[in-house]
Amino acid sequence: MTVLSVNLNKIAVLRNARGGTEPDLAMAANTCIAAGCGGITVHPRPDRRHVTAEDVAMLAELTRGRVEFNIEGNPFAPSRPGYPGFVELVRQAKPAQATLVPDADGQLTSDHGFDLARDVDRLAPLVATLNEIGCRVSLFVDAGTSEGFDAARAIGVARVELYTGPYAQAFATGDATGELARCAETTRHARAAGLAVNAGHDLDQKNLGTFKHAIPDLAEVSIGHALISEALYDGLDLTVRNYLEILG
């Protein structure tokens, strides 16, 4: 069964645009959990433009014992006022999963994965620390990656998350065959190394079914922007249930 983890960043963006507490992040999380999602994802950034460190602490308590909590972010991001640093944030929240993403501070959204052949040695001490904290570690990788999975497994990485932006763009143009094949081949390499595979970025109700059919052994999909956008029309509860039906 593929777990649906709902990314709540866009709820926080809307709240922060006006200030105050609406829309309520806790209410959104509870609605998604009641609808049957298996996880809640956040990607707090150092500039606090959406989910904040305080939100992370609240969601860590709200999800504990109910669904998995997944914190995404750049593991090399240092601390600064209002942001304790990624590793410290994970240490405080103790999520089920920490997903490491090579984002620059001012990056609008995630748009590439790690080069495992190049980055594994640099990531090794951070992965060891996160494992000591007690959370599963996943690395964001590009479709087409074929090397470095054995090395990632050796340093304690448990999963990789496929960056599915190029697949979604290709699907929208009407020909996703090539990108889908790249995703499937990367999954085969990762699974051969003993890694489970997650996926995320620009997945939606139109393209998710095709993706899931091609890669049936997905461990998790993390979906935020599209799901929250669709929920504006259909409601959050129904939208989460629609995704769960697609995942089957």
Q: What percent of the chain has pLDDT over 90?
A: 94
User: CA of 185: how far to CAs of 142, 217, 218, in Å?
Assistant: 11, 13, 13
Statement: residue 207 has pLDDT above 80: yes
Average pLDDT, the chain: 96
Q: State yes or no: pLDDT of 95 exceeds 70.
A: yes
DSSP 243: H
Task: Give the range of the structural domain holding residue 51, as residue numbers without chain letter.
Answer: 3-247
Q: How much is the pLDDT for 78?
A: 87
Catalytic residue (one of 68, 72, 161, 220): 72
pLDDT tens-digit readout, 61-80: 999 999 999 999 999 988 99
CATH code, domain with 25: 3.20.20.70
Residue 105 pLDDT exceeds 80: no
| 179 is annotated as an active-site residue | no
Residue 108 pLDDT: 59
- With a CB cutoff of 8 Å and minimum separation 6, the contacts of 109 are 201, 225
Inform me whether the pLDDT recorded for 111 exceeds 70: no
Q: What is the pLDDT of residue 104?
A: 67
Tell me how far apart the alpha carbons of residues 183 and 170 are, in angstroms, rounded to a whole number.
12
What is the pLDDT at residue 112? 74
Which amino acid type is present at position 112? H
Q: Alpha-carbon distance 34 to 12, whole Å? A: 19
Where helices occur in the chain by DSSP H, the ranges are 9-18, 25-35, 53-63, 86-93, 116-133, 149-154, 165-173, 177-192, 208-214, 225-234, 236-247
Is 201 considered catalytic here?
Answer: yes
Q: Quick one: pLDDT at residue 159?
A: 98
pLDDT at 132: 98
pLDDT at 103: 78
72 given a catalytic annotation:
yes
Count of the separate structural domains present in the chain = 1
> Angle at Cα 207 formed by Cα 205 and Cα 209, nearest 5°?
80
Alpha-carbon distance of 108 to 158, in angstroms, equals 27
Please give the pLDDT value at position 194.
Answer: 98
Q: Is the pLDDT of residue 216 over 90?
A: yes
Asked if residue 110 has pLDDT above 80, the reply is no
For 44, the token pair is: 């707090």
∠ CA 10-244-189 to the nearest 5 degrees? Answer: 90
Q: Which of 68, 161, 179, 201 is catalytic?
A: 201
